[in-house]
Structure 1
Amino acid sequence: MSYKKRGIIYIIPWLFGFVVFTIYPFITSLILSFTDYKIIYQPKFIGLSNYINMLKDNIFWTSLFATFKFVLLTVPFKLIFALVVAMILNFKLRGINFYRTAYYIPSILGGNIAVSILWKLIFQDKGIINQILNNFGFHSLPWFSNEYASLLMLSLLRIWQFGSAMVIFLAALKDIPLELYEAAWIDGASKIKAFMHVTIPLLTPIIFFNLVMQLIQSFQEFNGPYMITEGGPQYKTYLYSLMIYDNGFKYFNMGYASALSWIFFLIVMLFTLLIFKFSKYWVFYSDEGGEN
């Protein structure tokens, strides 16, 4: 058997999964977005009605704006926090491998239901966070009834899961040659200037990668708002993923949920394309000759 035939045989399982679990649902959802489909009845073609009704739906706009605020609040702080921790963990200290593992664990556990429930208990009226605030002389915050506090609470849960971005930053920091820092220090650069003119430019490809990945993941956030705030108060934490889920599996309006999913896909794709478009102005890649 030739290597080409063996290769085809090896990728058949992946091709099967890709077609059945990706391509087929992708195309089916597009078709269903133009129908009135209640799951228990046959789909009925209604053209663009789902998309027109979406524009008239106040909950749609509220959910969309809440999602934008969540993403804008979460992604920058998560990247900054991951980079700062990665720089700290880049030092050669005793037991540093333990700390690297400990800081990565939240990324493994942070998205599950148990942690969401724990987060809800921590931020309740008499939870640990409010007790700490009271001990320092501050008033308790209404984490579940105030729209700003509730959105901040959900963002903190997402920021807490910074481990995956941190590991990527840490690997990139280790690849930066020490000679570049030594040359900068010889020229009289301070540590801050060395960070701004050596570390950051060399990290821009990794920052770009983490930015795209964290943006997509933040748009898809579901467990936190579903388990902790249930979209409240007044739909202020009713993220877009919750709206898709409720319409599809709570109200069984699968046609409308499919239309919401496609608008969601286009929004995420638009943001991703914009990041790629403007990356040429701030992302620097080193070629084999060492030039930027």
Structure 2
Amino acid sequence: MRAMHESQKLLATRWNSAHDMLQRLLEQQPAIHAALLSAEVRKKGKDICTLSEADITAAEEVVTAMKPMKVATLVMSEEITQTLSVVAPLLALLIHLQDSPTDSNLTKVIKSVMCQALNKRYLNKETLYVATAMDLRFKALPFLSKDQRQDYLCYYPCRSYKEQSITETPKLAFTAGLTTSGKIGPFNTETPLIYSRVFTNIGGAYNPTTGIFTAPVKGVYYIRFTAFNNKNGEWMAVNLYHNSERILHNSELANGHSFIANALILQLEQGSVVYLRLPQNCGLYDDPSSLNTFSGFLLFPL
């Protein structure tokens, strides 16, 4: 019982210690007031330092302003397994709470400082949004705009498949072009090929930022690519990878306008990845004609 009423100390390395300290002070005000009325204490009245009504009001406002941060910290710390996906929703909620027409000037200042500190701590929210998009608890992504929700949901569709009936066949197909900027390579090391010009991405399983197709369901997939180079005497080549294993290599010594294409059928597990890389000392060429493409679609799930 005594531990419940012990005073709290302000610790720079302990989150919410200022909130806890002031809250405990307010809780103990009746006991403090009663103690100050005792004859023994009043004998040394000149040494007594008491809080004014304005001080008490200010302390109450500080506790109220800091309470959402306290609650957010408890939510994070009470998870059996801490997850990054919780951060973005909590962060959005804390920042949203900054606006209230009934706030006093002191409360507005406290909230403003907290908001600035949070935004400074999380300058790049991309990773937070990706983690949240993959967590079924936050599937609605209500803290994002409509366009933002669509961006993140299309890259991480596997959560929607968990909600589908097992008898429903997912619709998956993609085609992307490499670039419009002309020459690619040669490089002195094998280099990822990122097909950033998305023409079709039904189901959102292809990521144009990384150039990686991720199978959202176990199944049999059709994968195809094309490659082109226009520099005489330069090797053009493409390596196709399944996870970390190279499973296909096509190459040709360019002679004017040289073109290669290939396709294969792969059985992929859920979460398996397929991507293309440019071999060492080989080059490609692409322009708005989309001479280099990466395509695939689900034939049937297993």
Coarse TM-score class (shorter-chain normalised)? under 0.3
Q: Which has the higher contact order (CA 8 A, sep 6+)?
A: 1
Q: Which has the higher strand share?
A: 2
TM-score with structure 2 length normalisation? 0.20
